[in-house]
Amino acid sequence: MALLEVKNLSISFGGLRAVDSFEISIQKGQLYGLIGPNGAGKTTIFNMLTGVYKPDSGIIQLDGKDITGKKTIDINKAGVARTFQNIRLFKEQSVLDNVKVGLHNSYPYSALASVLRLPKYYKAEKEMNEKARELLKVFGLEDKENYLASNLPYGAQRKLEIARALATNPKLLLLDEPAAGMNPNETKELMETIRFVRDEFDMTILLIEHDMKLVSGICEELTVLNFGQVLAQGKTKDVLNDPKVITAYLGE
Amino acid sequence: MSFIAYLINGISLGSVYAIIALGYTMVYGIAKMLNFAHGDVIMIGCYVVFTMTSGLQFNPLLSVLISVVVCTVLGIVVEKVAYKPLRKASPLAVLITAIGVSYLLQNIALLVFGADTKSFSSIITLPALKLAGGKLSISSVAIVTVVTCVIIMAGLMLFIKKTKAGRAMLAVSEDKDAAQLMGVNVNGTISLTFAIGSGLAAIAGVLLCSAYPTLTPYIGSMPGIKAFTAAVFGGIGSIPGAFIGGIVLGIIEVLGRAYISSQLSDAIVFAVLIIVLLVKPTGILGKPIHEKV
Amino acid sequence: MKKMFDKNNTKKATRDSFVTYGIVILVFIIVQVMVGTGSMSSLMQGLLVPLCIYSIAAIGLNLCVGYLGELSLGHAGFMCVGAFSSAFFTKYMVDTGMNESLRFVLAIIIGTLTAALFGFLIGIPVLRLQGDYLAIVTLAFGEIIKNVMNVLYVGKDSKGLHFSVSDASALKMEEEGKMIINGPKGITGTPHQASFVIGIILILVSLIIVYNLVNSRTGRAVMAIRDNRIAAESVGIPVTKFKLMAFTISAAIAGIAGVLYAHNLSTLTALPANFGYNMSIMLLVFVVLGGMGSFRGSMIAAVLLTMLPEVLRGLSDYRMLIYAIVLIAMMLFNWAPKSIEWRQRHSLKGLFSKKTKEVQ
């Protein structure tokens, strides 16, 4: 059974069909890429997968469970986490706290326990600190834990966002243009990090990207989206050599 | 008094609120700030007219003109000194500064004119209009108020659509930086907005005081709040919205005072606002704000 | 690049809060010494409880504005609710022979919980609205609460309680019946149980509540919602629940201030001056000037700005004018980008937080 099974997913905005009959099937542990020209509808699909938009039609199944049209936080609880095209960090909080917010549902304790500083509070905070630091270490951010998130360099901010998403203990990680704004060295580092995350955390990763080096470097399978419709799907090499795909990117 | 009479009063009061609300909504739409001191500019306008007519025995129309000029200049000066330096700061900072300006204006008036209530002799001395065979009498103040409001509304809409300065205002309200890159004089446009808003406030003040002829340094405060409510009710940033909001608010206030309770008339107005916003969260004519994900 | 050598983030925040507690206790000691040695004017002594009241209210509002990130222009309404509900309870129980201290403690609890209830009920519809719309609706609620209190008539007699919203005679009470809330005349004869000691204790209680809340999972969730609601949702934070929680607690603390207010006067009335939007706005000024997110700052601003008009009494005619000018000047000095630049270049250390790499 595929981890993510999407069939016939469509959405229109004010008469304009943004995504039309989108289908995808991602196996557990895959590194999958969603590519296509700007405005093709890739982020819209992410938004539907994470409950930001409600699709007009179609089915989204995660690990056999139907998550179509559900609310964002329920989808996250079901096991989907994401990063955003325009990095959405908690700018006024520290690096460590950003990750700890991701751990919110993993170490619950009540507001009352907070106010009365019950033992449960201290225990949970200690465990959260440890777990958060572990995650920061994966991304090489552990010595910046007290930095204000907005003061991190751009590449580090992207990594922090991924760390926060991982903190929610997902089954499926959606990365929206993780390499945007990175130079070739940073991109190379990111590629290694993504592979590491997949291997270490047994993670399934679907990413949107424009950087072809990254796409061809780590993605095992691709779906190409054009004008909201699937143009090509399959193994990376085959898709990238597909004449239809080449035309769509380069024009006639 | 009959229902129609109350209705007319309500429309008249509402027209005053609408004119004040126009100032709020324009400044909000273009300078993206809530000018809490707007209500107090009205008060200043009233005092100027009062001083001119009662003290210096000037011609009433001339007094109004002078008041408009004074308020316009006041608006421009306040913007340049207190608001412009904070244009790039947090909106909350500008709000608090506006509150400071409001206190300042109130206390200057207090110092200069004292706290005692002045009696404002109406400058509108036309006879009342009698309709329906003498049974219905519409005061001249009410007529002048409503007519003035409609003229101002229409004038403003034409100004925005047809003149270069007006279109510049529209551009700045949609995207300040893009407008600047297109060669629009943003500073000048914002100053113009405050100028127009403040000038209108002076006119609103004259009309308000003609209808309710007691003058204290604090008379601008509550109408300011109510007009602000009207602007939000109609959809902040929308000129027709300010008009509708003002009129509706005025009608509700007068009818509420007449038929339910004079104590609770304010509460009723606010309650209606709450109900409307719950149904239409951005006001009657307001545009919903979409966040891009 | 300054680095923290103390690796534990929580410890730093705890230290910061203890500094604040320390300041409060220190001020308490100094004041008691001054009062004891007679070196404090009766004017200042009369201000002591009000300073506590406004500090607590400002702390409560800061939770809403600084941490939740929502502008409330109606917090005076919650003070009003806390004041009237607690005074009502006190007046009702005054002849029942209940122990006075117990009665006061219960009054505090009742006032706080009632304010919390109103915060909850108002929060449900209000927190759905965006920014400025939310602000105007909170102002509207504040005004409604104040107005309604003015037309409320409640009396007690041997048959129980009587309510009316028209006038006292509509209550149809017995001869020996007692008016508790008398419409615009409010509640009279509330025993003067507020004191500086109680005020300080309540400040500390409020601070403990907010600091412990903010430095916890709840606080992080609330701040996450403030900083980026969509991202907060994407990591599984139930937005409405935490918004409501923060707003309710913020209202409850304003209620505590209201209780203190009610028991500091023998007559409690709902006037524009004490529970109207002017008061709400004043609280907002305290919060913004003191630094959003800094409870210590809110307290200091509340104290300084409340004392300022009194201190300027010598210049009585001009004092409010000076107050206004000081306010505008302080705002421009602290918030104008050009001013911030100038200050950074001349590295002035202000009361207000600097922008550094580290979390303040």
> How does DSSP assign B10-40, residue by residue?
HHHHHHHHHHHHHHHHHHHHHH----TTHHH
Residue C357 inside a domain? The answer is no
Structural domain for B50, as ranges:
18-220
The owner of tokens 């380069």 is A250
pLDDT at A8: 94
pLDDT at A252: 45
The two structure tokens encoding residue C232:
């907060």
* Alpha carbon of A68: minimum distance to chain B alpha carbons (Å): 18
Nearest CB to C220 within list A77, A93, A117: A93
Task: Say if A111 is an interface residue toward chain C (CB within 8 Å).
Answer: yes
Please determine, for residue C326, whether its predicted confidence score (pLDDT) is greater than 70: yes
Q: How many angstroms separate the CA atoms of A143 and C196, rounded? A: 46
Angle at B151 between CA B73 and CA B237, to 5 degrees: 65
- Write down which chains contact chain A via at least 3 CB pairs under 8 A: B, C
Out of B86-95, B225-234, B236-245, C173-182, least confident range: C173-182
* Alpha carbon of B286: minimum distance to chain A alpha carbons (Å): 19
Please determine, for residue B88, whether its predicted confidence score (pLDDT) is greater than 90: no
Q: Of all helices (H) and strands (E), which one includes residue B155? A: helix B140-162
Q: What are residue A33's DSSP bridge partners?
A: A207, A222
Q: How many CA atoms lie within 13 A of C334 on its CB side?
A: 22
| Residues of chain A found within 8 Å of residue B293, distances taken between Cβ atoms | 43, 47, 52, 84
Residue C196 inside a domain? The answer is yes
Contact between residue C323 and residue C304 where contact means Cβ atoms under 8 Å apart:
no
Task: Say if A129 is an interface residue toward chain C (CB within 8 Å).
Answer: yes
- Per-residue pLDDT tens for A85-126? 889 999 999 999 999 999 999 999 999 999 999 999 999 999
To the nearest 10°, report the CA torsion of A130, A131, A132, A133: 50
| Residues of chain C found within 8 Å of residue A128, distances taken between Cβ atoms | 217
* Alpha carbon of B90: minimum distance to chain A alpha carbons (Å): 14
The two structure tokens encoding residue B222:
């509550």
To the nearest 10°, report the CA torsion of C29, C35, C41, C47: 60
- Number of other residues whose CB lies within 10 A of the CB of residue B47: 25
Out of C40-44, C233-237, C353-357, least confident range: C353-357
Residue C9 inside a domain? The answer is no
* Alpha carbon of A159: minimum distance to chain B alpha carbons (Å): 19
Task: Say if C342 is an interface residue toward chain B (CB within 8 Å).
Answer: no
Q: Which is more confidently placed, C86 or A250?
A: C86
Beta carbon pairs, B and C, within 8 Å: 126
Q: How confident is the model at residue C355 (pLDDT cuts 50, 70, 90)?
A: very low
Task: Say if C239 is an interface residue toward chain B (CB within 8 Å).
Answer: no
Across the interface, whether the CB atoms of A73 and C10 are under 8 A apart is answered: no
Q: How many CA atoms lie within 13 A of C345 on its CB side?
A: 6
Out of A30-39, C174-183, C244-253, least confident range: C174-183
Interface list for A 54-83 with C (CB within 8 A): 72-73, 76-77, 81-82
Question: Between the CA of residue B81 and those of A215, B111, C338, what are the distances in Å?
Answer: 54, 22, 13
Residue C8 inside a domain? The answer is no
Please determine, for residue A27, whether its predicted confidence score (pLDDT) is greater than 60: yes
Provide mean pLDDT across the span B267-289: 85
pLDDT at B201: 92
Could you tell me which residues come within 8 angstroms of residue C200 by beta carbon, excluding any fewer than 6 positions away?
C24, C25, C27, C28, C52
Task: Say if C35 is an interface residue toward chain B (CB within 8 Å).
Answer: no
Contact between residue B157 and residue B171 where contact means Cβ atoms under 8 Å apart:
no
pLDDT at C336: 85
SS3 A60: strand
Across the interface, whether the CB atoms of B281 and C143 are under 8 A apart is answered: no
Residue B290 inside a domain? The answer is no
Q: How confident is the model at residue A250 (pLDDT cuts 50, 70, 90)?
A: low
3-state helix vs strand vs coil in chain B, percent to 5: 75, 5, 25
Mean of the per-residue pLDDT values for chain C? 86
pLDDT at A148: 92
Which of B113, B88, B95 minimizes the C-alpha distance to B38? B95
Contact between residue B39 and residue B20 where contact means Cβ atoms under 8 Å apart:
yes
DSSP B79-90: IIIIIGGGTTS-
Provide mean pLDDT across the span C116-131: 92
SS3 B160: helix
Provide mean pLDDT across the span B66-89: 92
- Number of other residues whose CB lies within 10 A of the CB of residue A105: 18
Q: How confident is the model at residue C142 (pLDDT cuts 50, 70, 90)?
A: very high
Q: How confident is the model at residue A251 (pLDDT cuts 50, 70, 90)?
A: low
Q: How many angstroms separate the CA atoms of C31 and C24, rounded? A: 11
pLDDT at C6: 34
Q: How many angstroms separate the CA atoms of A245 and B7, rounded? A: 68
Task: Say if C221 is an interface residue toward chain A (CB within 8 Å).
Answer: yes
Which of B210, B213, B248 minimizes the C-alpha distance to B227? B248
Residue C292 inside a domain? The answer is yes
Residue C90 inside a domain? The answer is yes
Contact between residue C257 and residue C79 where contact means Cβ atoms under 8 Å apart:
yes
The two structure tokens encoding residue B251:
């009608």
Closest residue of chain B to A82, computed from CA coordinates: B293
- Write down which chains contact chain C via at least 3 CB pairs under 8 A: A, B
| Residues of chain C found within 8 Å of residue B292, distances taken between Cβ atoms | none
- Per-residue pLDDT tens for C28-37? 999 999 988 8
Nearest CB to C328 within list B28, B82, B225: B82
Contact between residue B116 and residue B220 where contact means Cβ atoms under 8 Å apart:
no
| Residues of chain B found within 8 Å of residue C336, distances taken between Cβ atoms | 85-86, 89
Q: At what angle do helices C239-262 and C42-62 cross, to 10 degrees?
A: 170
Q: How many angstroms separate the CA atoms of C13 and B121, rounded? A: 62
pLDDT at C4: 35
Could you tell me which residues come within 8 angstroms of residue A15 by beta carbon, excluding any fewer than 6 positions away?
none
Q: How many angstroms separate the CA atoms of B293 and A50, rounded? A: 11
Provide mean pLDDT across the span B5-25: 91
Q: How many domains does chain B have?
A: 1
Q: How many angstroms separate the CA atoms of C268 and B85, rounded? A: 42
Mean of the per-residue pLDDT values for chain B? 86
* Alpha carbon of A52: minimum distance to chain B alpha carbons (Å): 8
Contact between residue B16 and residue B145 where contact means Cβ atoms under 8 Å apart:
yes
pLDDT at A34: 95
Nearest CB to B100 within list C133, C144, C331: C331
Please, where in chain A does CATH 3.40.50.300 lie? 1-79+170-252
Mean of the per-residue pLDDT values for chain A? 92
The two structure tokens encoding residue A244:
């239809």
| Residues of chain B found within 8 Å of residue C80, distances taken between Cβ atoms | none
Maximum CA extent, chain B: 64
Provide mean pLDDT across the span B155-173: 87
Could you tell me which residues come within 8 angstroms of residue A246 by beta carbon, excluding any fewer than 6 positions away?
none
Q: How many angstroms separate the CA atoms of C55 and C33, rounded? A: 21
pLDDT at C313: 73
Residue B285 inside a domain? The answer is no
pLDDT at B134: 56
Out of A45-59, B53-67, C156-170, least confident range: C156-170
Across the interface, whether the CB atoms of C217 and A104 are under 8 A apart is answered: yes
Contact between residue C246 and residue C238 where contact means Cβ atoms under 8 Å apart:
no
| Residues of chain C found within 8 Å of residue A102, distances taken between Cβ atoms | 235
- Write down which chains contact chain B via at least 3 CB pairs under 8 A: A, C
Residue B26 inside a domain? The answer is yes
Nearest CB to A90 within list C8, C215, C223: C223
Q: How confident is the model at residue B212 (pLDDT cuts 50, 70, 90)?
A: confident
Task: Say if B61 is an interface residue toward chain A (CB within 8 Å).
Answer: no
Beta carbon pairs, A and C, within 8 Å: 119
The owner of tokens 């934070």 is C237
Q: B10-43 as b/e, with b when 16 or more CB fall inside 10 Å?
A: bbbbbbbbbbbbbbbbbbbbbbbbbbbbbbbbbb
Radius of gyration of chain C (CA): 22
pLDDT at C2: 35
* Alpha carbon of C112: minimum distance to chain A alpha carbons (Å): 16
| Among the four given CATH numbers 3.30.750.24, 3.40.190.10, 3.40.50.300, 3.30.420.40, the one describing domain A1-79+170-252 | 3.40.50.300
Q: How many angstroms separate the CA atoms of A207 and A83, rounded? A: 10
Q: How many CA atoms lie within 13 A of A181 on its CB side?
A: 12
Task: Say if C32 is an interface residue toward chain A (CB within 8 Å).
Answer: no
Across the interface, whether the CB atoms of A111 and C235 are under 8 A apart is answered: no
Please determine, for residue C12, whether its predicted confidence score (pLDDT) is greater than 90: no
* Alpha carbon of A227: minimum distance to chain B alpha carbons (Å): 19
Task: Say if B288 is an interface residue toward chain A (CB within 8 Å).
Answer: no
* pTM given for the model: 0.90
pLDDT at B31: 87
Q: Which is more confidently placed, B162 or C174?
A: B162
Please determine, for residue B124, whether its predicted confidence score (pLDDT) is greater than 80: no
Q: How many domains does chain C have?
A: 1
Q: How confident is the model at residue B128 (pLDDT cuts 50, 70, 90)?
A: low
Across the interface, whether the CB atoms of C235 and A89 are under 8 A apart is answered: no
Could you tell me which residues come within 8 angstroms of residue B211 by beta carbon, excluding any fewer than 6 positions away?
B12, B13, B16, B141, B142, B145
Task: Say if C325 is an interface residue toward chain B (CB within 8 Å).
Answer: yes
Q: At what angle do helices B140-162 and B239-259 cross, to 10 degrees?
A: 160
Task: Say if C121 is an interface residue toward chain B (CB within 8 Å).
Answer: no
* DSSP alpha helix (H) spans, C127-238: 131-150, 196-214, 217-227, 229-234
Could you tell me which residues come within 8 angstroms of residue C240 by beta carbon, excluding any fewer than 6 positions away?
C127
* Alpha carbon of C228: minimum distance to chain B alpha carbons (Å): 11
Separation of CA A233 from chain center: 20
